């Protein structure tokens, strides 16, 4: 079963500021945790792909009607609460295993090593869209 685990900015349950305000060693510990988890999942044959995305302020939003030139704007808008920070695509035996990996991800270290308690969205991948 394939699942996508979505990590969003702004969906952290712990009372912590944005990563841009963390001490450098806390940022590095968080990144190392994510990399180590990817290595472990890859060794188990469960990781298909996983990556972090640039900060939301570097995002672009595109809207098109299929007729004229698309409208491209910088983002995010101030009213945006949650934007995608990164994702993992995993192939596991069950939903329970996907939830277990999501829980591990949610407990990634934040400032002073405390778990960030990030809300992880777990979505089963339905498969490719075929023509």
pLDDT at position 95:
97
pLDDT at position 58:
83
DSSP 41-89: HHHTT-EEEEEE---GGG-EEEE--SSSPPEEEES--TT---EEEEEEE
Q: Supply the range of the domain harboring residue 110.
A: 2-124
Segment 92-116 mean pLDDT: 95
Residue 79 clears pLDDT 60, i.e. is over it? no
Segment 100-116 mean pLDDT: 94
Count of structural domains within the chain: 1
Asked if residue 130 is part of any domain, the answer here is no
pLDDT at position 74:
84
pLDDT at position 76:
62
Asked if residue 45 is part of any domain, the answer here is yes
Residue 89 sits in a domain of what CATH number? 3.30.70.1060
Gap between the Cα atoms of 109 and 111, Å rounded? 7
Note the pLDDT tens digit of each residue in 24-76.
999 999 999 999 999 999 999 999 999 988 877 788 889 999 999 999 988 76
pLDDT at position 103:
97
Give the number of other Cβ atoms within 10 Å of residue 106's Cβ: 19
Asked if residue 131 is part of any domain, the answer here is no
Asked if residue 86 is part of any domain, the answer here is yes
Gap between the Cα atoms of 72 and 89, Å rounded? 28
- Give the chain's length: 131
b (16+ CB within 10 A) / e for 36-50: ebeeebeeeebbeeb
Model pTM score: 0.83
């Amino acid at each position: 079963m394939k699942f996508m685990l979505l990590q969003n900015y702004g969906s952290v349950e712990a009372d912590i500021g944005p990563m841009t305000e963390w001490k450098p060693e806390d940022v590095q510990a968080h990144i190392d945790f994510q990399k180590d988890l990817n290595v472990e999942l890859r060794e188990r044959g469960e990781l298909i792909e996983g990556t972090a995305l640039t900060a939301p302020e570097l995002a672009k939003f595109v809207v098109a009607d299929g007729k004229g030139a698309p409208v491209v704007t910088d983002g995010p808008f101030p009213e945006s609460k949650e934007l995608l920070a990164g994702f993992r695509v995993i192939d596991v035996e069950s939903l329970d295993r996907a939830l277990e990996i999501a829980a591990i991800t949610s407990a990634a270290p934040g400032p002073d090593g405390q778990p960030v308690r990030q809300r992880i969205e777990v979505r089963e991948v339905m498969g490719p869209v075929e023509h």
